[in-house]
Amino acid sequence: MLSGMKFLITAGPTREPLDPVRYLSNRSSGRMGYALAGAARHEGHEVVLISGPTALDVPPGVDFIHVETAQQMYDAVHDMVGGVDVAILCAAVADYRPVAVAEQKMKKHAERLVLELERTPDILGSMRSVFGFAGVLVGFAAETQEIEHYARGKLERKGCDMVVANDVSRADIGFDSRENEVLLVFPDRTEALPRDTKEHIALHIVEHAALLHS
């Protein structure tokens, strides 16, 4: 068994505040990322899990960092990436955040309200170019069409060794479900993992990632 590596895993959604009581977020439950953390620990690896808010228990033996926003997740990954052998970025990070965060709860005056949004930092896209990460890099791709095509584009643009692509237009897999069905996209090939529990899918992903390191 290939054990004893250091894994960094991101999971869950981020929350981008609008005011003290409101935020923009998404339907990620964190299950896929927590299953990856549990699988990596089960395989004998050291694991740091950086997660947005979820209702899940942290798998035993896993180092845990809680974050809320994309910026906090970016900062935590930056702080923890030194010495990491395998990074798996599974979090559903908000791509945009409100430009202005109101200090007080926003009052409803007008019939329509236009929010101005700005891009959040691209954590996966910073791993090689900004953080200088040289280990095995695994990204996720949440797609609704041309899944393999878009995943391969991400693999190449972000310098990944593997991209795990899932179809998030389906209710039975992907976001907030107990199961998933994914394509593992490598530079030279693609492998399909049929529908299964996120725990079983996670074990396959961890085994593939560990093999890429050896």
CA distance 49 to 161: 20
CA distance 53 to 50: 10
* Count of residues of this chain found to bind ligand PMT when the rule CB under 6 A is applied: 27
CA distance 152 to 164: 10
In the complex with ligand PMT, the residue whose CB is nearer, 63 or 96, is 96
Terminal Cα-to-Cα distance of the chain (whole angstroms): 11
Tell me: does residue 86 bind ligand PMT (CB under 6 A): no
Tell me: does residue 40 bind ligand PMT (CB under 6 A): no
Tell me: does residue 148 bind ligand PMT (CB under 6 A): no
Tell me: does residue 69 bind ligand PMT (CB under 6 A): no
Per-residue binding string, ligand PMT, 100-139, x by CB under 6 A, is: --------------------x-xxx--------------x
Angle at 103 between CA 100 and CA 106, to 5 degrees: 80
Tell me: does residue 168 bind ligand PMT (CB under 6 A): yes
In the complex with ligand PMT, the residue whose CB is nearer, 18 or 73, is 73
CA distance 175 to 167: 9
In the complex with ligand PMT, the residue whose CB is nearer, 30 or 41, is 30
Residue 144 tokens, joined: 């609704």
CA distance 46 to 132: 21
State the nearest-atom distance from the C-beta of 108 to ligand PMT, in Å: 30
Active-site residue list: 26
Task: Provide the 10 A C-beta neighbour count for residue 103.
Answer: 7
State the nearest-atom distance from the C-beta of 205 to ligand PMT, in Å: 10
Q: Which stretch binds ligand PMT (CB under 6 A): 23-31, 56-64, 99-107, 185-193?
A: 23-31
Tell me: does residue 206 bind ligand PMT (CB under 6 A): no
Any idea how long the chain is?
214
Tell me: does residue 28 bind ligand PMT (CB under 6 A): yes
**Residues in a beta bridge with 7:** 47, 86
CA distance 124 to 113: 32
Residue whose structure tokens are 């990632």: 209
Tell me: does residue 174 bind ligand PMT (CB under 6 A): yes
Residue 15 tokens, joined: 């929350």
State the nearest-atom distance from the C-beta of 32 to ligand PMT, in Å: 4
By the criterion CB under 6 A, which residues form the site for ligand PMT?
10, 28-32, 70, 89-93, 95, 120, 122-124, 139-142, 154, 166, 168, 174-176
